[in-house]
Copies of this chain bind each other. A is one copy, B any other.
Amino acid sequence: MNHKEISRAVIGRLPRYYRYLGELKEEGIERISSNELSIRMGVTASQIRQDLNHFGGFGQQGYGYNVNNLHEEIAKILGLNIEHKLIIIGAGNLGQALANYGNFEKRGFHIVGLFDENKDLQNTNKRDIPLYPMEHLEEFIASHQVDIAVLAIPKAAAVEVADRLVACGIKGIWNFAHTDLSLPKDVIVENVHLSESLMQLSYRMIGK
C-alpha cells in the first residue's frame, strides 16, 4: 500500500466507514453485504467497493464484509492501532472541549497535557488532564514523548507556537487556528478551519 497514490477524497471517507462499522459491531452484526452497507451509509455499493479496493478489498463474493475484521483493518489503515500522545495548546473553551472529549482516547489518542500562556487560568478540565504554563512546553514534550500537538489558540500566536513545537520534534499538528502553517515537510498539519465550514453551510443554503 502506497499512501501517496490514494486521494484525499478516499482517505476522507475512511473514518466514516470506521464509524459505521463500529456501530454495526455495537449492534452485534457480524457480516454485511456492500449493498446493505451502502443503504445504511447513503453511498453507492460501487463506491464502497472502489474505496476499499485501494487497500486490498476485504470483501468476499457472496459473503460480503466481516464487520469486525473490516473495522480492525480500517483502524490499522488509519493508524488507530498506534498510540499517540497529544498536548493541547490553549486551554480556553475550545481546548477544554477537546480535552474533555473521551472518544479520542478510545482511538489511541492520549491527551497528556494542556498548555496556556495565561498562568492564572483555572483548569476546568473534567478528566484531570494537567494544565501547564507555556515555559514548560519544551521540557514536557521531551520527557513525555509527545508526538501530536493541538493548536487551540488564536491565529496571531499560532505561527510562533508551531515553530516552537516543530523545534521540539512534534510530528503532527492538529490546527484550529485560522491560518495556514508553513512547516517542514515531515511535519503533518491537519487544519480544522471552523469558519470555512460555516461559510460552506451558508453557500449551500443560498444555492439549494
**A195's contact among B15, B93, B96, by CB below 8 Å, is which?**
B15
**A174's contact among B3, B15, B186, B197, by CB below 8 Å, is which?**
B197
Nearest-Cβ distance from residue A186 to partner chain B, whole angstroms: 6
Task: Compute how far the CA of A107 lies from the CA of B124 in the bound complex, rounded to whole angstroms.
Answer: 30
Task: Compute how far the CA of A21 lies from the CA of B206 in the bound complex, rounded to whole angstroms.
Answer: 22
| Given A11-B200, A80-B202, A174-B198, 20 other A-B residues pairs in contact with their CB atoms under 8 A | A3-B203, A3-B204, A3-B207, A11-B204, A15-B193, A15-B196, A15-B199, A16-B193, A77-B203, A78-B200, A79-B199, A79-B203, A79-B205, A84-B202, A84-B205, A92-B100, A94-B94, A104-B195, A172-B201, A172-B205
**Residues of chain B within 8 A of A84, CB atoms compared:** 202, 205
Q: List 15 A-B contacts (CB under 8 A).
A: A15-B196, A42-B182, A79-B199, A79-B203, A84-B202, A93-B100, A94-B94, A101-B194, A108-B202, A109-B202, A147-B205, A172-B205, A188-B205, A188-B208, A190-B200
Contact B79 A18 (CB under 8 A): no
Within 8 A of B (CB), among A151-208: 171-172, 174, 178, 180, 182, 185-186, 188, 190, 192-208
The DSSP consensus for interface residues of chain A is helix
Q: Tell me, yes or no, whether A103 is within 8 Å of chain B by CB.
A: yes
Q: Tell me, yes or no, whether A56 is within 8 Å of chain B by CB.
A: no
Task: State the copy count for this chain.
Answer: 2
Q: Would A199 and B97 be within 8 Å (CB), given that A79-B206, A205-B79, A208-B188 are in contact?
A: no
Task: Compute how far the CA of A94 lies from the CA of B192 in the bound complex, rounded to whole angstroms.
Answer: 14
